[in-house]
């Protein structure tokens, strides 16, 4: 109790005074993210086989996979929607994907002005061909 | 040349006015008003800069960048903040005691302005050189308690009330050491006039003759102007914002600016009483006296900021104990030693 | 005599230093607390109930959300409980990765503790330095798991991913920096006379009392009781590392603060050893695609940053847990709060509350 601790504290802050800042001027400079970063999602729709495993793996029922059957009775992707407001970014869907069609990307600025914009539509077939196969959403 | 910049300007103006056959009273009033405007401008700009400097200093200590958006290196950050607060609605909560509530932010800013009346900024640069300058400083500073109490009581908020009670306890306790430390300086200088005190430090600054007094004063002034480690009145993590909790918009900005202006006055008082005021050290008179004054002031301000960004807040009972059980006895002993020393000194001389 | 009156003051749920949404109604006599009534539940999300409607794997992301500051221990406790129930042998490499990740997240959690306690006591700089160092830890965890706070990294039978390329080198490079930051914090805060005056002898908890209230972890060790699940009942591969169990002397706020500093040092020691010893091999055990534990129940405890974390899971043989209960250390810690507060000052409430190290997501679950 003689003030030495106070002086030591002052010495430490004085030393820190000359160190370089560790912060980043964010909107101008951005940090390099690791490849595993859990950002938003990218769907390689040509790889997707519309198996719906991601839909099942999701703990919060975020994902909605719509599929149609084509002429060879093969399932094809019709739509892929994610309710991002419920997403936990846990990565279970990415892990469940057997063809690596669904992956994380490096996008992290996900704030939106309108609530409707939060919904992420990764794939939407332009015109759903009628007659052949049924839509299953 | 720079030395007589302001004094010369005033003199020139006076001769010009007199040569144009204005009434002497008009000349006097005009020059006084000019001095007031000059002081107010200095005070306001300095407070704005101080807030910026404080934030920037904190950022440097903490390995951050600090404000860097508005203007070059963020220098206009506080200006932008103030403008923003200007534009905001002044929100008055239900059941506040309306008059004290609205009066407090106005009064809080008049106190520092009043204090500037007696401060010698440079050679011959005193707005009004009172005979009892030191007494005036002490008396006006302690009025701030009442204003804070007004704000805290009228806000109809328990946090504000707690903060106000803390401010009263704190100001009352630290007034004593402040006065006694000042008294030792007055004893050395033999006058209560601030310009005389500065003149007495022409050769040796009082910090070297009164090291204990300086330390006491340095700490007690810090407490009096409520800076960390003595920022209990605001105590953000405990009582939100103390007496300022319920204020918004420009009312809050006035409190905030007044806080920094007070802080500046603390630094000015340390400079004037212990660091030789506007006297140039080592006879370096090529730098004008008012610039020396500002340099010293900013040195003291930096010291205060350094402590602020290093220490943590002290508890209320410890704060009071520190004032009454440590600072006060030590300052009394210091006065006694000073008196004996002065007596002996005179005996040897004569 | 002057007439005096007690005032009751409502602190929280929105208050700068209630670490989230904790609320307490204090009765004050001047600045002295004469009565306190904590109110919890503002962050209740019903995670235990949510778990009943999720498959065993899907529960993992929810365990993160209890103590979001040291989430990895919560992952670990859950997956180990299920592994215990199913009798799964986890590959060694996975165990080492788990230990590294858990200790890293323990360091991050302790950093937040140090930082928030300093901030609550009025030191902005003491808050910034641990957060600066925590950034290093989070960078490592981000590299490993892809997330910074809610990792969902562990899986039943192993871990989600192997160590990424360059992880070991980067960790070795960062660990000395973390130690340096700990030394700095110790010099700046723990040795500071104001800090000592405010925390020494404040809210002293004896060993008996701490045990009676079920305290564990660093809070219990601060009272001087040498008990650490990592040493006393080793799980995972903790029995292979050499590390000390730091203990305090008085069980006051200062001890609780200092223990966290000491524990960061020990965690760094464990990580250093684990990085040296880590073997090659698979990172997942042979686990069936659909996890269906046998009918039964299991209780498993791990040493979380805030105390002893226990998972009690009942299985009815289906793919979803029949019931899950979590023994959350923060909830246990906060129980004693009222008793500690009475007779202290208002400013002490903040200090004591910070020193018992709770996170509200964990209290309310």
pLDDT at residue C1 is higher than 80? no
Mean pLDDT, rounded, for C127-153: 89
Of A6, A17, A23, which is closest to B65 when you measure between CB atoms?
Answer: A23
What secondary structure does DSSP assign to C229-283, as a single string? HHHHS--TTGGGS-------SS-SHHHHHHHHHHHHHHHHHHHHHHHHHPPPS-S
Would the CA dihedral through C335, C339, C342, C343 be positive or negative?
Answer: negative
Joined tokens for residue B172: 């009352």
> CA–CA separation, C346 vs C352, rounded Å?
10
Q: Please, is B345 exposed, middle or buried when counting C-beta atoms within 10 Å of its C-beta (0-12, 13-18, 19+)?
A: exposed
Joined tokens for residue B228: 């960390």
pLDDT of residue A132: 45
Q: Which residues of A touch B65 (CB under 8 A)?
A: 21, 23, 25
Query: Strand pairing of A63-69 and A75-83?
Result: antiparallel
- Contact residues for B47 (Cβ-Cβ < 8 A; gap 6+): B257, B260, B261, B264
- The secondary element (H helix, E strand) that includes residue B51 is helix B24-61
Structurally, chain A folds into a number of domains equal to 1
In a domain, A86, yes or no: yes
Residue A97 annotated in ligand binding = yes
Residues in chain B, overall count? 350
pLDDT at residue B2 is higher than 70? no
Q: For C27, which residue in chain B has the nearest alpha carbon?
A: B158
Lowest mean pLDDT among A127-131, C82-86, C331-335: A127-131
Q: Which residues of C touch B158 (CB under 8 A)?
A: 7, 9
> CA–CA separation, C136 vs C128, rounded Å?
13
B61 to chain C, any CB pair closer than 8 A? The answer is yes
Joined tokens for residue C38: 């904590």
User: How many CB pairs below 8 Å do chains A and C form together?
Assistant: 78
Rg, Å, chain C Cα set:
21
Neighbours of C51 (CB within 10 A): 26
CA-based angle A12:A15:A21, to the nearest 5?
110
Q: How far is A15 from chain C (nearest CA, A)?
A: 10
Report the SS3 class of residue C312: strand
Mean pLDDT of chain A: 81
Q: Which residues of B touch C192 (CB under 8 A)?
A: 311-312
Mean pLDDT, rounded, for B183-191: 85
For residue B92, what is the DSSP state?
A: -
Of B64, B309, B310, which is closest to A21 when you measure between CB atoms?
Answer: B64
pLDDT at residue A131 is higher than 60? no
Dmax of chain A from CA atoms? 89
Cβ-contact C240, C358 below 8 angstroms: no
Cβ-contact B62, C125 below 8 angstroms: yes
Upstream peptide bond of C60 is cis (omega within 30 degrees of 0): no
Q: Which residues of C touch A59 (CB under 8 A)?
A: 54, 58-59, 61-62
Model pLDDT for residues C322-364, shown as the tens digit of each residue: 999 999 888 888 888 888 888 888 888 888 888 888 888 888 8
Cβ-contact C153, C144 below 8 angstroms: yes
For residue B202, what is the DSSP state?
A: S
pLDDT at residue A41 is higher than 80? yes
pLDDT at residue A136 is higher than 60? no
> CA–CA separation, C315 vs C63, rounded Å?
17
Model pLDDT for residues B133-148, shown as the tens digit of each residue: 888 888 888 888 888 8
Check C152 against A88: CB less than 8 A apart. Answer: yes
pLDDT at residue C168 is higher than 60? yes
Task: Give the model's confidence band at A134: pLDDT under 50 very low, under 70 low, under 90 confident, else very high.
Answer: very low
Mean pLDDT of chain C: 88
Among B301, B279, B299, CA closest to B288: B279
Q: Is the ipTM of this complex over 0.90?
A: no
Joined tokens for residue A57: 């793996």
pLDDT of residue C312: 92
Model pLDDT for residues C215-238, shown as the tens digit of each residue: 888 888 888 888 888 888 888 888
For residue A69, give the CATH number of its domain: 3.30.70.3270
Cβ-contact C119, B236 below 8 angstroms: no
What secondary structure does DSSP assign to B223-261, as a single string? HHTT-TTSTTTT-HHHHTTGGGTT--HHHHHHHHHHHHH
Q: How far is A1 from chain B (nearest CA, A)?
A: 13
pLDDT of residue B3: 65
Residue A121 annotated in ligand binding = no
Instruction: Give which of B55, B63, B73, B308 to mutate to test A binding, by max A Cβ within 10 Å.
Output: B63
- A interface residues, C as partner, C-beta within 8 Å: 1-6, 8-9, 11-13, 16, 22, 33-38, 57-59, 88-92, 95, 104
Joined tokens for residue C342: 């009475």
A16 to chain B, any CB pair closer than 8 A? The answer is yes
In a domain, A12, yes or no: no
CA C149 to chain CA mean position, Å: 13
Strands annotated E in chain A: 41-43, 63-69, 75-83, 102-104, 119-124
In a domain, A33, yes or no: no
Mean pLDDT, rounded, for A11-26: 84
pLDDT at residue B250 is higher than 60? yes
pLDDT of residue A137: 44
> CA–CA separation, C183 vs C131, rounded Å?
14
Q: Which residues of C touch A3 (CB under 8 A)?
A: 193
Residue A73 annotated in ligand binding = no
Cβ-contact B134, B194 below 8 angstroms: yes
For a pLDDT cut of 90, what percent of chain B falls above it?
0
Among A22, C114, C184, CA closest to B66: A22
Which residue reads 């204990």 in tokens? B212
Boundaries of every domain in chain C? 6-364
Check C152 against A92: CB less than 8 A apart. Answer: yes
> CA–CA separation, C58 vs C72, rounded Å?
16
Residues in chain A, overall count? 137
In a domain, A77, yes or no: yes
Cβ-contact B247, B255 below 8 angstroms: yes
CA-based angle B215:B219:B220, to the nearest 5?
115
Among C112, C109, C120, CA closest to C195: C120
Task: Give the model's confidence band at A70: pLDDT under 50 very low, under 70 low, under 90 confident, else very high.
Answer: confident
Report the SS3 class of residue C78: helix
Q: Does domain C6-364 have CATH number 2.40.50.140?
A: no
A4 to chain B, any CB pair closer than 8 A? The answer is no
Check A22 against B63: CB less than 8 A apart. Answer: yes
Cβ-contact C292, C317 below 8 angstroms: yes
A11 to chain B, any CB pair closer than 8 A? The answer is no
> CA–CA separation, A107 vs C218, rounded Å?
38
Check A9 against C58: CB less than 8 A apart. Answer: no
Among C233, C202, C307, C329, CA closest to C263: C307
Q: Could you list the residue range(s) of the whole structural domain that residue A89 is in? A: 41-136
pLDDT at residue B350 is higher than 70? no
Lowest mean pLDDT among B42-51, B57-66, B70-79, B232-241: B232-241
pLDDT at residue B130 is higher than 70? yes
Residue A9 annotated in ligand binding = no
Q: Which residues of A touch B61 (CB under 8 A)?
A: 13, 16-17
* pTM attached to this predicted model: 0.88
Which residue reads 């000059």 in tokens? B38
Among C336, C196, C9, CA closest to B238: C9
Joined tokens for residue C30: 């001047």
Q: Which residues of A touch B307 (CB under 8 A)?
A: 10
Chains touching A, CB cut-off 8 Å, 3+ pairs: B, C
Neighbours of C241 (CB within 10 A): 19
Model pLDDT for residues B280-313, shown as the tens digit of each residue: 777 677 777 778 888 888 888 898 888 888 888 8
CA dihedral angle for residue A110, residue A116, residue A122, residue A123, rounded to 10 degrees = -170
Residue A113 annotated in ligand binding = no
Mean pLDDT of chain B: 83
pLDDT of residue A126: 67
For a pLDDT cut of 70, what percent of chain B falls above it?
97
Which residue reads 């995670």 in tokens? C47
Task: Give the model's confidence band at C299: pLDDT under 50 very low, under 70 low, under 90 confident, else very high.
Answer: very high
For residue C70, what is the DSSP state?
A: S
């Amino acid at each position: 109790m003689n003030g030495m601790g106070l002086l030591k504290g002052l010495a430490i802050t004085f030393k820190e005074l000359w160190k370089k800042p560790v912060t980043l001027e964010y909107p101008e400079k951005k940090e390099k993210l690791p490849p595993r970063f859990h950002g938003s999602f990218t769907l390689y729709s040509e790889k997707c086989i519309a198996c719906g495993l991601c839909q099942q793996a999701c703990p919060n029922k975020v994902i909605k996979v719509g599929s149609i059957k084509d002429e060879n009775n093969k399932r094809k992707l019709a739509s892929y929607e994610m309710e991002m407001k419920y997403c936990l970014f846990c990565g279970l869907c990415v892990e469940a994907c057997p063809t690596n069609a669904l992956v994380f990307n490096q996008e992290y600025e996900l704030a939106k002005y309108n609530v409707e914009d939060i919904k992420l539509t990764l794939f939407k077939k332009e015109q759903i061909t009628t007659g052949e196969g049924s839509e299953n959403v | 040349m720079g030395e007589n910049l302001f004094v010369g300007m005033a003199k020139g103006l006076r001769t010009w006015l007199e040569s144009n056959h204005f009434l002497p009273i008009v000349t006097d009033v005009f020059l006084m008003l000019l001095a007031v405007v000059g002081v107010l401008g200095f005070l306001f700009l300095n407070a704005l800069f101080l807030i910026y400097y404080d934030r920037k200093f904190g950022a440097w200590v903490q390995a951050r960048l600090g404000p860097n958006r508005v203007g070059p290196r963020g220098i206009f950050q506080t200006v932008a903040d103030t403008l923003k607060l200007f534009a905001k609605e002044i929100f008055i909560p239900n059941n506040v005691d309306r008059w004290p509530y609205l009066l407090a932010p106005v009064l809080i800013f008049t106190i520092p302005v009043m204090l500037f009346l007696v401060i010698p900024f440079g050679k011959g640069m005193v707005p009004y050189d009172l005979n009892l300058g030191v007494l005036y400083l002490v008396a006006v500073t302690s009025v701030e308690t009442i204003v804070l109490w007004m704000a805290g009581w009228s806000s109809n908020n328990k946090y504000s009330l707690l903060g106000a009670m803390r401010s009263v306890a704190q100001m009352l306790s630290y007034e004593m050491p402040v006065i006694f430390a000042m008294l030792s300086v007055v004893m050395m200088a033999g006058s209560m006039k601030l310009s005389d005190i500065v003149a007495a430090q022409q050769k040796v600054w009082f910090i070297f003759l009164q090291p204990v007094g300086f330390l006491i004063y340095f700490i007690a002034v810090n407490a009096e102007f409520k800076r960390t480690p003595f920022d209990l009145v605001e105590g953000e993590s405990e009582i939100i914002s103390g007496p300022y909790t319920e204020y918004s918009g420009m009312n809050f900005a006035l409190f905030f600016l007044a806080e920094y202006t007070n802080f500046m006055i603390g630094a000015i008082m340390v400079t004037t009483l212990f660091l030789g005021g506007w006297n140039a050290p080592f006879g370096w008179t090529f730098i004008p006296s008012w610039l020396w004054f500002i340099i010293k002031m900013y040195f003291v301000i930096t010291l205060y900021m350094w402590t602020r960004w290093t220490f943590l807040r002290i508890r209320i009972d410890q704060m009071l104990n520190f004032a009454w059980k440590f600072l006060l006895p030590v300052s009394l002993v210091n006065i006694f030693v000073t008196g004996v020393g002065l007596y002996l000194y005179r005996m040897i001389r004569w | 005599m002057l007439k005096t009156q007690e005032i009751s003051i409502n602190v929280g749920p929105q208050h700068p230093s209630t670490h989230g949404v904790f609320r307490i109604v204090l009765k004050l006599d001047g600045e002295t607390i004469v009565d306190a009534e904590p109110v919890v539940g503002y962050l209740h999300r019903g995670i235990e109930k949510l778990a009943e409607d999720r498959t065993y794997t899907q529960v993992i992301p929810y365990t993160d959300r209890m103590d979001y500051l040291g989430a990895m221990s919560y992952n670990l406790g859950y997956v180990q409980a299920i592994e215990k129930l199913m009798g799964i042998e986890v590959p060694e490499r996975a165990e080492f990765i788990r230990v590294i990740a858990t200790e890293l997240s323990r360091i991050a959690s302790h950093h937040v503790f140090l930082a928030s306690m300093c901030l609550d006591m009025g030191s902005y700089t003491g808050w910034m330095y641990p957060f600066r160092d925590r950034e290093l830890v989070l960078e490592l965890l981000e590299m490993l798991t892809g997330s910074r706070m809610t990792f969902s990294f562990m899986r039943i039978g192993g871990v989600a991913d192997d160590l990424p390329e360059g992880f070991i080198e980067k960790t070795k490079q960062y660990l000395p920096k973390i130690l340096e930051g700990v030394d700095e914090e110790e010099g700046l805060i723990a040795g500071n006379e104001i800090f000592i005056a405010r925390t020494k002898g404040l809210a002293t908890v004896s060993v008996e009392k701490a045990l009676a209230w079920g305290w564990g972890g660093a809070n219990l060790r601060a009272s001087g009781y040498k008990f650490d699940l990592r040493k006393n009942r080793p799980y995972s591969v903790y029995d292979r590392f050499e590390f000390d169990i730091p203990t305090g002397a008085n069980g006051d706020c200062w001890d609780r603060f200092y223990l966290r500093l000491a524990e960061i040092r020990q965690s760094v020691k464990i990580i250093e050893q684990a990085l040296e010893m880590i073997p090659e091999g698979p990172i997942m055990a042979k686990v069936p695609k659909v996890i269906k534990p046998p009918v039964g129940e299991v209780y498993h405890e791990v040493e979380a940053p805030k105390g002893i974390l226990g998972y009690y899971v009942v299985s009815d043989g289906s793919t979803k847990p029949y019931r899950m209960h979590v023994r959350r250390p923060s909830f246990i810690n906060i129980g004693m709060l009222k008793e500690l507060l009475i007779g202290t000052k208002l400013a002490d409430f903040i200090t004591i509350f910070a020193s018992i190290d709770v996170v509200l997501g964990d209290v309310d679950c």
